[in-house]
Amino acid sequence: MPYTADKPGSTPDPEALRARIPGWGADLDPADRPAFPREQPGIETGAHWELPPQQAGASGRERSIEHERVTPVFGTAQPLHGISGRIRRFAYDRFSEGQTAHWLLLVAGDRVDAVTAHVTSLFSKRPDDPITESGVAGEIAHHPIASRVGRGRIDLKHAWLDPILVIGPWVVASVLAIKLVRAVFLPASKRGK
Amino acid sequence: MKAMTYRGPYKLRVEEKPDPKIEHPNDAIVRVELAAICGSDLHLYHGMMPDTRVGHTFGHEFIGRVEQVGSSVQNLSVGDRVMVPFNIFCGSCFFCSRGLFSNCHNVNANATAVGGIYGYSHTAGGYDGGQAELVRVPFADVGPAVIPDGVNPEDALLLTDAFSTGYFGAQLADIVEGDTAVVFGAGPIGLAAARSCWLMGAGRVIVVDYLDYRLRKAEEFAHAETINFGQVNDIVLELKKQTGGLGADVVVEAVGAEADGHIMQHVTAAKLKLQGGSPVALNWAIDSVRKGGTISVMGAYGPLFSAVKFGDAMNKGVTMRMNQAPVKRQWPRLLEHIAAGHIKPSEMITHRIPLEHIAEGYHIFSSKLDDIIKPVITVA
């Protein structure tokens, strides 16, 4: 087909659209849209400070090394602790946000955090409960079969693969860890047995 | 107080936590009435966002009543019923003073690339979120707003992120009258974006997803044409056919890190976490927008790299715009639209779940059971 300067297809009729769609065209003018222009100098925010007062407790808090100091306000939700805290501290102290190592270390810290929390919970008054904490009981009364089967859900095509992908890296890591321990602590003469 | 707490990927529970306290003179403590689970909370739940710590309380969409205020708070009083934007922002830094509230430089010690977000891991500042009875709200004079009389609380709740973000996505698409808009994703953000494209004068709105019940919602709620990409061989080719071979004028990507549709991207991104997110939807957006068109990215991605088809984007002269939505800038206009009957965000809500059953709510949402689109957590 030849390509012309005109847009293919029929041009929509604004009146028909206005009749069919509530509010059609109410924000037609790009210059009248709320976030236009993207940067709007002097915008009123409600702030009555030039620089916010510094929140107490900043000493020792982890921060991105791209910041010159801990920000005036910061979250205090879960302070660093334990082995995962050491991993995360290293990630923050050593690598900028531009370094892949920064983020991969933080992901590693997350996994260590989850495992240690689970193990620790076994010695607590409230151990982790895979039934209630996974929410799997929500399957009951929420159409688990009808929601999945016969609806062409493409995510079902790889559902069989997902447990392997989730568990597989842990199995591989465990095997490697065992081999490493054996290499370090067992004499060479006994390693093959 | 009772709060949802993260226990590791795919695990959470409700437990007693210490009540939050005023830690800065401009803090407020808000007693939560309604919260919501956002699709981006699922990225945390699935372990995709770095530095998501055990014990963290998620939830960046919530409304409630002010219970306590710090010594410098002037604009809010105890007892005010407020909606709280998902962004935490100071109002005075380089970025805030230009209206880039989601890019505030004074609230996230853990990163410079992203601002502060309630309940969104320590990558977004390490603030506990609103899926709890109480929440600390920093910069109470800047972020929250009193919910106007007559505004439905559930409508207000959806202005704290979902609808405002969808509306912002349509804004960033730079729609001009008669444009053909394609929206990838029929979750709450995609639905809101599709609905908002009409407000900005779109001539056609096409929503793409693979879940038939979400596409039905896109037809009813957003008056959109729909395509189930699981039922066509090649979604990009299908969109080209439907747009006279040129492609869409604008595309809104409302899918993000766990996009389905390509098995290798699913493996490397969603499961092995070797990418900041599966770029399937982003790449489809690049492929299906017309040359010189605009792509607006509202999908949430992690900070790692993702394998994006940037060469095609460059060769096509595509404009790509994106940001976390500065939702408070949208509120005055969106409240006008609600009052005028142009939109009713709460029509997206499908499930109301008590806080005590939130683990089941996450599972239902994550597994897409029971035709779920938007779950709301009832706290008070």
> B180: which 2 tokens?
């053909």
pLDDT tens across the length of chain B (380 residues)? 999 999 999 999 999 999 999 999 999 999 999 999 999 999 999 999 999 999 999 999 999 999 999 999 999 999 999 999 999 999 999 999 999 999 999 999 999 999 999 999 999 999 999 999 999 999 999 999 999 999 999 999 999 999 999 999 999 999 999 999 999 999 999 999 999 999 999 999 999 999 999 999 999 999 999 999 999 999 999 999 999 999 999 999 999 998 988 888 888 888 888 888 999 999 999 999 999 999 999 999 999 889 999 999 999 999 999 999 999 999 999 999 999 999 999 999 999 999 999 999 999 999 999 999 999 999 97
The pLDDT value recorded for residue B267 is: 86
The pLDDT value recorded for residue A143 is: 95
Q: Which 3-state string (H, E, C) describes chain B?
A: CEEEEEEECCEEEEEECCCCCCCCCCCEEEEEEEEECCHHHHHHHCCCCCCCCCCCCCCCCEEEEEEEECCCCCCCCCCCEEEECCEECCCCCCCHHHCCHHHCCCCCCCCCCCCEEECCCHHHCCECCCCECEEEECCCCCCCEECCCCCCHHHHHHHCCHHHHHHHHHHHCCCCCCCEEEEECCCHHHHHHHHHHHHCCCCEEEEEECCHHHHHHHHHHHCCEEEEHHHCCCHHHHHHHHCCCCCEEEEEECCCCECCCCHHHHHHHHHCCCCCCECHHHHHHHHHEEEEEEEEECCCCCCCCCCCCHHHHHHCCCEEEECCCCHHHHHHHHHHHHHCCCCCHHHHCCEEEEHHHHHHHHHHHHHCCCCCCCEEEECC
Contact residues on chain B for A67, CB-CB shorter than 8 A = 109, 112
pLDDT of residue A193 exceeding 60, the answer is no
- pTM for the full model? 0.95
**With an 8 Å Cβ cutoff, are A138 and B357 in contact?**
yes
> B225: which 2 tokens?
């044409």
Contact residues on chain A for B294, CB-CB shorter than 8 A = none
Q: Which of these, B44, B374, B341, lies nearest to B186 by C-alpha position?
A: B374
The pLDDT value recorded for residue A166 is: 77
Torsion sign (Cα): B184, B188, B194, B197: negative
The pLDDT value recorded for residue B347 is: 98
Distance CA B287, CA B134 (A): 45
**With an 8 Å Cβ cutoff, are B98 and A39 in contact?**
yes
Nearest CA in chain A to B306: A100
Nearest CA in chain B to A73: B107
- Chain A, residues 110-169, CB within 8 A of chain B, namely 110-111, 113-115, 117-118, 121, 126, 128-130, 132-139, 142-144, 147-148, 151-155, 157-158, 161-162, 165-166, 169
Distance CA A187, CA A181 (A): 11
The pLDDT value recorded for residue B274 is: 85
**With an 8 Å Cβ cutoff, are A55 and B23 in contact?**
yes
pLDDT in tens, A42-93: 899 999 999 999 999 999 999 999 999 999 999 999 999 999 999 999 999 9
- Chain A, residues 49-88, CB within 8 A of chain B, namely 49-53, 55-58, 61-64, 66-67, 70-78, 84, 88
The pLDDT value recorded for residue B279 is: 94
Answer whether A98 touches B (CB < 8 Å).
no
**With an 8 Å Cβ cutoff, are A73 and B168 in contact?**
no
Nearest CA in chain B to A126: B15
CA angle B319, B320, B323 (to 5 degrees): 145
Q: Which one-letter DSSP state was computed for residue A12?
A: P
The pLDDT value recorded for residue B269 is: 87
- Cβ-contact B36, B375 below 8 angstroms: yes
Neighbours of B346 (CB within 10 A): 17
Residue A165 pLDDT level (bands cut at 50, 70, 90): confident
The pLDDT value recorded for residue B272 is: 82
Q: What is the crossing angle of helices B188-199 and B162-172, to 10°?
A: 50
- Phi and psi at B199, nearest 5°, equal -60, -30
The pLDDT value recorded for residue A22 is: 97
pLDDT in tens, A137-153: 999 999 999 999 988 89
Distance CA B104, CA B92 (A): 9
Nearest CA in chain B to A13: B203
pLDDT of residue A169 exceeding 90, the answer is no
Neighbours of B245 (CB within 10 A): 11
Neighbours of B379 (CB within 10 A): 27
- Phi and psi at B125, nearest 5°, equal 110, -15
The pLDDT value recorded for residue A192 is: 60
- Per-residue b/e over B76-105, b at no fewer than 16 CB within 10 Å? beeebbbbbbbbbbbbbbebbbbbbbbbbb
**With an 8 Å Cβ cutoff, are A35 and B23 in contact?**
no
Nearest CA in chain B to A26: B199
Residue A170 pLDDT level (bands cut at 50, 70, 90): confident
The pLDDT value recorded for residue A160 is: 85
CA angle B297, B162, B61 (to 5 degrees): 125
Residue A174 pLDDT level (bands cut at 50, 70, 90): confident
More confident residue, A189 or B342: B342
